[in-house]
Amino acid sequence: MSAVRPQARKRLLRVPNFRAAVRFERPRGTNDYGPEEMARRRSVEGILRQTAERFGFREVSTPTFEHLDLFTTKSGPGIVEELYAFRDKAARDLALRPEFTASIVRFYLSDLRNLPKPVKVYSVGNVFRYEEPQKGKYREFTQFNAEIIGAPSLQGDAEIIALAVECLRGVGVREVHTRIGHIGMLRSFLRIPPDDQAKVLHWLDKKDFGALRTELARLGLENLEEPLKEYVDLHGGPEVLDEGARVIKGVGTEGFDYLKALAKRLKAYSIENVMFDLGVVRGLDYYTGMVFEIDSPNLGTAKQVMGGGAYTLAELFGGDAVPQTGFAFGLDRIVLAAKAEDVALPMSRLDCYVIPIGDALQESGLEVLVKLRRGGIFADIDLLGRGPSKNLDYANSIGARFAVLVGEAETKKGVVAVKDLDSGDQKELTLTALIDLIPRSKQGR
Ligand code: HAM
């Protein structure tokens, strides 16, 4: 029995008398994806997942929302301003995740640290940032995130960079620039309290030199403006590292020596000609060592397809010191980069579209359909009772590989007429022969 009182029930049932239908639009900065786009996205995601698993990473999943302070603790001013934060019915302050790293470290400290080291994990999912939307920059987007926790820095950093490079190779995106820097050197140069450091680094990351000047003036550090500008402009081969040491002299060369050793290790991974960029500052505040980014110059302003580096969140979250390194790809941006380069992505495709010729063959058509589906074939059938030529148009429009025509004469002979929709060739085949023709059917055997 419903607990709704009769009077209230009446109110619930009252249908508003709308004159005009209400048209809803999706919220700003979000996207709908149709079947073609979704197939492209799943194709890219599948390649990234497979590549990570080939590298020994295993998938983990964390909540879409977390306690607000997980993200305000050390993500930096950029991210905090962009949070989708809300209070739940029990007055808990929560936020939609703007990224994965903080959640993964929280999960590491509560559970994953009991796993044998190194912990190599990846995750895929939607993240949320209140940013000004433009092409490739959304308020809800998808990240492919990978982290290594507990491997010595050099080994972990090289492995994580190698994974990022291999992911893009796998997708087939070639026109990219990988740039590696070291935020630790910049932090050592800026010997100021962490909150002030975060602000200076924020403006350096945005390359907003006007705001940088104001910030430095506020801190009484005007003398740092020129060396900082010169430093973040340094990019190129290994010679850049010696230049960097010259510009920010007095802080030693430890980070630069580290990057040289990293380049040597990457060479052993067949990653040659590493490009250094001392202007890689990163928008998040937790990085402490090597930092790296990959751009696709074809994408205009939102060209960064990946960002990552070495960080120290575990200590800040009350855990012990352990090397942490990782990256996240913007999945939306890799898909755009692949499109810009006309990359032919492996797409899932309907194998067979079954067309019964006339009403009398509807049941035979369904029999064929069921056998194909049970044989592991992706198969569909006409549901509208259209004629053969309209059905062939439909099969072509959904990108089916073969049209399987079920006619009276063929049924008597125990065959079907199979039309190859790519070449236009047609031949008669038994169902067993048709199933054997399609590679997919062999996968599950
Ligand atoms: P991030 O650079 O903030 O790093 O984001 C990673 C990637 O997400 C970017 O390189 C970009 O491709 C994509 N992205 C960022 N904002 C948007 C947006 N508004 N719309 C579409 N795509 C976007 C992180 O999130 C770190 N957690 C990466 C990391 C993992 N570092 C260590 N481990």
- The model's confidence at residue 1, banded by pLDDT at 50, 70 and 90, is very low
State yes or no: pLDDT of 4 exceeds 60.
Answer: no
Q: Is 332 in the pocket of ligand 1 (CB under 6 A)?
A: yes
Residue burial 196-218, b: 16+ Cβ < 10 Å; e: rest? ebbbbbbbbbeeeeeebeebbee
**How many whole angstroms from 258 Cα to the centroid of ligand 1?**
25
Supply the residue whose CA is at minimum distance from atom 4 of ligand 1.
307
Q: What is the pLDDT of residues 252-270, one digit of tens each?
A: 899 999 999 999 999 999 9
Please give the model's pTM, rounded to 2 decimal places: 0.91
- What percent of the chain shows pLDDT beyond 90? 84
What amino acid is encoded at 83 in this protein?
Answer: L
State yes or no: pLDDT of 2 exceeds 50.
Answer: no
Q: In the numeric block, which tokens belong to residue 100?
A: 């994965």
Q: Is 335 in the pocket of ligand 1 (CB under 6 A)?
A: no
Q: What is the pLDDT of residues 45-57, one digit of tens each?
A: 999 999 999 999 9
Supply the residue whose CA is at minimum distance from atom 14 of ligand 1.
330
Supply the residue whose CA is at minimum distance from atom 2 of ligand 1.
307
Q: Is 333 in the pocket of ligand 1 (CB under 6 A)?
A: yes
Ligand 1 atom at shortest distance from the alpha carbon of 100: 27
Supply the residue whose CA is at minimum distance from atom 25 of ligand 1.
99
> 438 — phi, psi (to 5°)?
-100, 115
Helix and strand tally (H, E) in the chain? 18, 17
What residue spans of 32-100 are helical by DSSP H? 35-54, 68-72, 77-81
Sheet holding 93-96, edge to edge: 65-67, 93-96, 85-87
State yes or no: pLDDT of 74 exceeds 80.
Answer: no
Q: Is 284 in the pocket of ligand 1 (CB under 6 A)?
A: yes
Q: Catalogue the E-assigned strands of 71-196.
A: 85-87, 93-96, 119-128, 140-149, 177-182
Mean pLDDT of 379-398: 95
Q: Is 255 in the pocket of ligand 1 (CB under 6 A)?
A: no
pLDDT of residue 129: 96
- The model's confidence at residue 414, banded by pLDDT at 50, 70 and 90, is very high
Q: In the numeric block, which tokens belong to residue 15?
A: 């249908």
pLDDT of residue 76: 63
* Spatial distance between the Cα atoms of 59 and 52, rounded to a whole number of angstroms: 9
